[in-house]
Amino acid sequence: MARKTFDELVDEFNKEEQGNPPSEHPQENLEQPQETPPVEEPPVETPPAEDKPAEPPAPEDKPEDKPADKPEDKPADPPKDHVIDEIEMTNGAIRKRLEKQAKKFEEEKAALIAEYEAKLKAKETEQPKPAPKTRDNFQTDEDYVAWLTRQQIDADRAEQDKKRQEQEAEDAKKRQEQEAEAAEIQRRQAKFLTNIESCFDGEERTTFMKRVQYANSKGLGELLDANPVASDYLLGSQRGPLVLAKILDTQNPEYFRRVFPVGGINPLEQFAELKDIERTILAEKNAPPPAPAPAPAPAPKKPVLGKPGAQGQGGTGGDPMLDPKARRDYVRELLYGHK
């Protein structure tokens, strides 16, 4: 009988451990001790049987362990997306900057709090509050009442002084804001006037300013305040007056509707419309002048016709009797048949 393999012995050992019969043919198990020499029994010992299941499966049972060192078997790397890299890099820089700003803000806030607490503590130590007085500190009720009255008056004055100081500080802040706003308006007006001078000359400038003043009386200023993008462009750009004149042109209201539609417009789209109108104006200015119309052809001269028979007759009107030589030749021709 053939010798059992090591795997078969391991299987039988596992079946015995589970309480199952070692084989389907018990006689085969009885004959084995006779066919297997004692010296060859170690392969069936328990330790090898226990270590066998831990061995890795054969290479054919694990497709993932197959060698994948061939270039054609490796998946191709996806193409590098430079836009995404730029986005990540930019976001990283923004995050670092924000973290740095937040850290600086926290440090400044902590420093201000510490400075305020130090000043408050110094003030408390410099000016200790007097101990509150009671009736026992005065000899009479009148003295106690007078002291209470003075305390109330002092508290009222301190409260009034505090309110006055706060009001003065608020008024000063408002005054500074108004002065800054007035200075900004003056600066924009000066720039706008400078742009007008560079865009128009003479009568055109006067006509444009009258048109702007009339439109402003009808609410142009409020419209520009509600559209800061258009306001900054029309009042601050070098070619803003040219575009504003086009928008306020009564003969072409479609330009106004493009920039200020009734339903509103996105600021970016509004700026794009303004730039498109500017390009239209520049194209019209740079266009070559139209060729002059050709001069009308001169009318043909009428021939001057004299009196019948006057041509070639010496100015006698064709009458031979008025010229002596012609009269003589005429007579000779009549008498002799020749001149």
Work out the average pLDDT over 122-128: 69
Tell whether 34 is covered by a domain: yes
55, pLDDT greater than 70:
no
Alpha-carbon distance 277 to 269, whole Å? 12
**Which of 247, 264, 286 is the last residue in one of the domains?**
286
The confidence band for 292, taking pLDDT boundaries of 50, 70 and 90, is: confident
**Which of 286, 311, 330 is the last residue in one of the domains?**
286
Tell whether 294 is covered by a domain: no
Structure tokens at 217: 């009386």
Tell whether 250 is covered by a domain: yes
Tell whether 75 is covered by a domain: no
177-199 pLDDT, tens digit per residue, is: 999 988 988 898 899 999 999 99
Tell whether 210 is covered by a domain: yes
What angle do helix axes 267-286 and 240-247 make, rounded to 10 degrees?
Answer: 100
**Which of 250, 267, 286 is the last residue in one of the domains?**
286
Tell whether 272 is covered by a domain: yes
Alpha-carbon distance 215 to 218, whole Å? 5
Q: Which of 108-112, 117-121, 241-245, 288-292 has the lowest mean pLDDT?
A: 288-292
Q: How confident is the model at residue 321, as a pLDDT?
A: 63
List, as one string, the DSSP characters of 113-182: HHHHHHHHHHHHHHSPPPPPP-GGGSSSHHHHHHHHHHHHHHHHHHHHHHHHHHHHHHHHHHHHHHHHHH
Tell whether 109 is covered by a domain: no
CB under 8 A, 24+ apart: contacts of 245-250: 245/199, 245/200, 245/208, 245/211, 246/277, 246/280, 246/281, 247/277, 248/211, 248/212, 248/215
Work out the average pLDDT over 10-33: 55
Q: How confident is the model at residue 107, as a pLDDT?
A: 92
43, amino acid identity? P
Could you tell me the CA-to-CA distances from 186 to 3, 61, 189, 235, 238 in Å, in that order?
Answer: 112, 87, 5, 12, 17
Domain holding 195, by residue range, is: 184-286
The answer to whether the CB of 208 falls within 8 A of the CB of 241 is yes
Tell whether 88 is covered by a domain: no
Alpha-carbon distance 240 to 194, whole Å? 11
Alpha-carbon distance 265 to 256, whole Å? 12
How does the average pLDDT of the chain come out, rounded? Answer: 76
Q: How confident is the model at residue 327, as a pLDDT?
A: 76
**pLDDT over 70 percentage in the chain:** 63
Regarding pTM above 0.75, the answer is no
Higher pLDDT, 66 or 156: 156
126, pLDDT greater than 60:
yes
140, pLDDT greater than 60:
yes
Q: How confident is the model at residue 153, as a pLDDT?
A: 94
106, pLDDT greater than 80:
yes
**How many domains is the chain partitioned into structurally?**
2
